[in-house]
Structure 1
């Protein structure tokens, strides 16, 4: 008789999975983790491991068992829906037999049985409400589903039992910030329906609820100010679960964020004209768009991984209280929330130009029960104070003078303190600049409709845009704020390692090393191509910290870096 506790059995299976991964046997490791979940359905270690493998595993055939496994991970509080977005989307593509094309596939959902299957698909419903879809084939399919639902509704052939699927599509639209294209006939109906919803009187009937949900599949109901007010005045007790959920996600969540705006201190005005333009862009489209942060299994010392990853790091400053971390240009706060969950005994100062982005971040931090982040509105160029650590990801290249921004951050760093920077690599952005030229795009602020039309034009591939289809593989392509940040930013500059080296030397900083995906996740899937090339070319230089060596490698392999993420230390 086996008296082992379920948690012990799960732990043993997880350890077996770790061994199998070291042997490069991900399929066998996945089976071991599946057995761990059979013993303990809430095993966080197993769910995280399954997610890690699913991200990298190539699945060529639909499996009901894998469907249930991915669904369980998506629904688990230990799950990471963003990491599961691509594998779950691909699995749904296989499930519905969708070819790798961007055709609308409208005939595949014309039958009642076709829609019935979608309505009862737990994986599809969960996927729609927990992720931002990144699968273009699935996007086309879901657009055709949306259109079919709209047709049936306008013809009076849609009952209330479809509200669950419609609400899920409405939440997906909210998640991706209504980036999907719409037809002219749909646009005309939406304009008329917006006026109808603004005139809404009386209680919310089933027919009115369905009307609202169908509208919300296409357009943000937040823009209907009179409707927002009336919904706040109505009791939600008699609403259907689907309506309550959709209203909370599309209107209630936004209202709670706006309530937080007065509580965010303002450090300085964005007096620099470039800073002002950037702020206006992010006020209109807070970035990045994120929905979840995976809870940490345990908290660690903020310096532990850094020291392990870079043994040549010099002595770090010591502090009697919490480590003071500055995160300038934090946007919607995702990295701050991630750090606050994982680092022990830290106090984070999160600064950004955009008050709307900060409100989103503060709302999300509070929803995760995090209280050690101080959100503040301000310009990076006017920052003051002394910090042991600064993390500035994807910010400096949006300044008019990135080098001046770097020097300002260095002045805020204690002696021995470290700074993490991410900058655009010139070679990786050339396709973006070519696309802008081909489309005749300007760098000025654009309306939402203009942004959506530009994206739709790229997807239509109207003649000479085939070379840019690879852009759709980037996560930012699939939300309005992401697409704008990726392709239509009002201010951008790029770097080479040569420019990077000159900036670091001018600030009297010591380059510690680049950070690659393999080191970020501390996985067992091997080193990146860049790391392998460095070790092969310079076997005696084991710290990988010579920028001259990296410059030589980049000269031979100009597309090696998508961006530069690196650490420096103040001597």
Structure 2
């Protein structure tokens, strides 16, 4: 209501009783910021962070205050911290609120899908205003920006940077830092952005010039290196290791760490990963090839920041179950995000995390080592063959995996055989009713002859963008905005979709008790469920859930994720 005087008085009264009250300190900072007193705002946010150093919102607000004061290094540090603490999920919405970004997006929207001349889009200032957006730069370095509007805008920015680098233009440090951040974003999304033929030719020519300069020992400008890295991964370039022996500004050093040092570390990790089972099923071999080429997902931010932040604050105390020593199997761990979440929740557990893709496992091992976790054992294995490992587990997790097997139920039976009596399993399976749009998209892809190659995936995505109204669920899916995610979503070599009655039949056949679906992101789902069955609603009743899904087929758009228990003997 902008009744600042009253609000400030209330905050001061609270702080008189509780000097470290974070919400009051943060509100006082926001009010000082709104009135233009950025110095006072920065002080308040600093006090709030001193009381709660893992508060993402306070770090974001501190970043804005320091940016207004011209303290750009401090602002970037706070923005990066906010993103690392979980604000990555909201990054797109914050970026799209920027007046600079809004202006560019508006100019593009007026002519989309026709191209906008670069001079008309960026004007006489060029991309300097966009390059100066520190939160945008931090977000590009930290997470996939899942937005059609931002992807199109950043595509124009990349083309403009290519023009500057090709012309050997002199640019300031902000432009170089922006180019590095964009190159890191392109690496995260695995170069999924579309590009015209003339742009591809120019990028190839710039790469060839870079390779010649590398071979001859000639000077390479930071902009040239950053722009090449926005089109091609540096670790794939011949003799790229020579780059590590040169002195570079900090932004380039960060780019080299992500695109060169870390991939080299992952290659070294492969030799330490054992193979537990053969991989001989024809479908399993094809699935393995897919995820070797496109490990999924290429995540960057700690996947359990909210939980670990609350534990750091002392707001949550581990339960007896979470403190217990237990054996947990992660069947299909991918690049490790899932296994790392479980390892943080159950610090005394012994985890075996298996996957069919050695490339994914190497990524998982590197991220696990970075986080200092020591209770995860990684191994290559096919779920269909796991019955031969002669081990059992207190709990088993397999989310988003079984539906890519040649026979999902056969793989699920193997997992049931490995579960100890009294144990629980958490399973995630695709819903047939919810994925009608995916079925339509896959049929269209087949009819148009798109293959699961990088070029075809890019072309397919651009066609979907042009028909955005027809494909809103796809364009709203985060997986659509990376090469591995889009391949997993639309080009997977094997996808089965199940129904709730099929799940119920399997649980009944194997003596498993359904314990409920995972909490929904939208609380309205449960409200609707209870209204459909007034007075008798039972969240563990699969027949009721089936009837609900018939009425609301989009309910399980991501997948069915549920827990089932095995009877104790």
TM class by shorter-chain length? 0.7 to 0.9
- Once the two structures are TM-superposed, the CA of residue 443 in structure 1 deviates from its matched residue by 10
Does 2:544 match 1:538?
no
Matches within 5 A, 1:147-546: 147-159=159-171, 161=173, 162-199=175-212, 200-203=214-217, 205-207=219-221, 209-224=222-237, 226-232=238-244, 235-236=245-246, 238-293=247-302, 294-295=304-305, 296-297=308-309, 298=311, 301=318, 322-383=325-386, 384=389, 385-440=391-446, 446-461=452-467, 466-518=469-521, 528-541=523-536, 543-546=538-541
Distance 2:384 2:44 in 1: 50
TM-score by length of 2: 0.82
2:157 — aligned with what?
Answer: 145
- Once the two structures are TM-superposed, the CA of residue 8 in structure 1 deviates from its matched residue by 5.8
Structure 1 unaligned blocks of 5 or more: 18-32, 54-62, 306-318, 519-526
Distance 1:423 1:12 in 2: 41
Deviation sequence 1:321-353 (CA, Å, 0-9, x none): 721111111100001112222333212111000
Given that 2:328 and 2:350 are in contact with CA atoms closer than 8 Å, whether structure 1 keeps it comes out as yes
Deviation sequence 1:477-517 (CA, Å, 0-9, x none): 00000000011100001011111111211222111111123
Deviation sequence 1:40-82 (CA, Å, 0-9, x none): 22555772567999xxxxxxxxx989x9999835434862243
Structure 2 unaligned blocks of 5 or more: 1-11, 28-40, 62-66
- Once the two structures are TM-superposed, the CA of residue 251 in structure 1 deviates from its matched residue by 1.2
Distance 1:442 1:126 in 2: 38
**1:568 pairs with one of 532, 542, 564:** 564
SS at match of 1:265: coil
2:30 — aligned with what?
Answer: none
- Once the two structures are TM-superposed, the CA of residue 529 in structure 1 deviates from its matched residue by 3.1
- Once the two structures are TM-superposed, the CA of residue 377 in structure 1 deviates from its matched residue by 0.6
- Once the two structures are TM-superposed, the CA of residue 446 in structure 1 deviates from its matched residue by 2.2
SS at match of 2:144: coil
- Once the two structures are TM-superposed, the CA of residue 152 in structure 1 deviates from its matched residue by 2.4
**1:39 pairs with one of 43, 47, 51:** 47
SS at match of 1:426: coil
Given that 2:55 and 2:85 are in contact with CA atoms closer than 8 Å, whether structure 1 keeps it comes out as yes
Matches within 5 A, 1:12-27: 13=23
SS at match of 1:427: coil
- Once the two structures are TM-superposed, the CA of residue 538 in structure 1 deviates from its matched residue by 3.3
Change (3 A) 1:42 1:507: farther
TM-score by length of 1: 0.81
Distance 1:435 1:76 in 2: 36
SS at match of 2:424: strand
Change (3 A) 1:7 1:434: farther
- Once the two structures are TM-superposed, the CA of residue 459 in structure 1 deviates from its matched residue by 1.6
Distance 1:471 1:362 in 2: 31
SS at match of 1:110: helix
- Once the two structures are TM-superposed, the CA of residue 448 in structure 1 deviates from its matched residue by 1.6
**2:127 pairs with one of 115, 123, 128:** 115
Distance 2:288 2:402 in 1: 14
Distance 1:204 1:392 in 2: 51
SS at match of 1:322: coil
Distance 1:92 1:16 in 2: 21
Given that 1:330 and 1:351 are in contact with CA atoms closer than 8 Å, whether structure 2 keeps it comes out as yes
Distance 1:322 1:380 in 2: 24
Matches within 5 A, 1:67-146: 72-76=78-82, 79-92=85-98, 95-97=101-103, 98-99=105-106, 101=109, 102-103=112-113, 105=116, 106-107=118-119, 109-146=121-158
Aligned residues: 515
Deviation sequence 1:418-446 (CA, Å, 0-9, x none): 11111111122111111222233599972
Change (3 A) 1:364 1:151: same
